[in-house]
Amino acid sequence: MQRQLANMKQSLFDQLEELQDDANPNFVEEVVTLYYRDSARLVQNIDKALEKNPVDFVKLDSYMHQFKGSSSSIGAKKVKIECTQFREYCRVGNGEGCKKTFQQVKREYATLRKKLEAYFQFARQVGPVEKACRRK
């Protein structure tokens, strides 16, 4: 189980967990919740921006930069990779490419959320025992 969990997240996420301790018992959850909120908003903004015509690449890039930043902070490597790709398209002004890539971004993002959800459910079940075991 530990391994399963470990596989679900990347090393950064591990770090997040490291930060969670008695002083910050729900740190990971808080962080992830923050991420959800923030990223949901960004995804919305990006969607809207992509629908506009003509596409404002500067803004898009700015949104994506933020999105990428927070995703990487939380350890979402795959999402981050897609974001980088997206920004490349933005840079060259390829609207179609952006849209396609963004679909992928959203997909990865959805996967991430699912995994996180599962993780939390799991973690809650296991609870403190897991935490104790987790300490290496």
Partner 1 sequence: MTVEKIRGENENSDNFPVGLRVLAVDDDPLCLKLLETLLKKCQYHVTITSQARMALKMLRENKDRFDLVISDVHMPDMDGFKLLELVGLEMDLPVIMLSANSDPKNVMKGVTHGACDYLVKPVRLEELRNIWQHVLRKKKPDSKIQNKSTDQVKANLGSGDGHGSPMTGNTDQNGKINRKRKDEDDESEDNGNESEDPGAQKKPRVVWSIELHRKFVGAVNQLGIEKAVPKRILDLMNVEGLTRENKYRLYLKRISQQANMVAALGVKDSHFMRIGSFDGLGDFRTLAGQGRHPNVALSPYTSGMLGRLNSPANVNLLNITPSPLIQPSYAQNSSNSITPLGKMQNPNLFQGIPSSLELDQLQQNKGPTGIVNFNAFDDSRIFTSNFTDPGTTVGSSSNLLNGTPNNPLSDGGFGNQPCNNMASFSSESFNAGINGTIESSKMQPNSLLSSEPFNNSLSDPYLRNNTIDIISSTTMALPIGDSREMQCQEGLVGDVRNMNQQRQNNYEHSSKSGFGSLNPRIPSNGVVGSMNQKMDMFVNGRLGGGGSTLMQHNENQNLLTESRARSNDSLFFEHQKMQGGFVPQSCDSLDDMVNAMIKREQDESIPSCDFGFDDYSFGQGTI
Interface residues with partner 1 (CB under 8 A) are: 12, 15-16, 18-19, 23-24, 27, 30-31, 34-35, 38, 62, 65-66, 68-70, 72-75
| CB closer to partner 1 out of 34 and 133 | 34
Answer for the pair 99, 50: CB distance below 8 angstroms, yes or no: yes
75: region left, alpha or beta (phi > 0 left; psi from -120 to 50 alpha): left
Residue 73 or 94: the one with the smaller Cβ distance to partner 1 is 73
Taking the complex as a whole, how short is the minimal distance between the CB of residue 19 and partner 1, in angstroms?
5
Q: Compute CA 123 distance to the chain's CA centroid, rounded to the nearest angstrom.
A: 19
Q: Which is nearer to partner 1, 74 or 98 (CB)?
A: 74
Q: Nearest approach, Cβ of 124 to partner 1 (angstroms)? A: 20
How many secondary structure helices (H) and strands (E) does the chain include?
7, 0
CB closer to partner 1, 6 vs 12: 12
First to last CA, the chain: 15
**Nearest Cα to Cα of residue 39 among 13, 9, 72, 15:** 72
- Tell me how far, at minimum, the Cβ of 94 lies from partner 1, in Å: 19
To partner 1, the closest distance from the beta carbon of 71 in angstroms equals 9
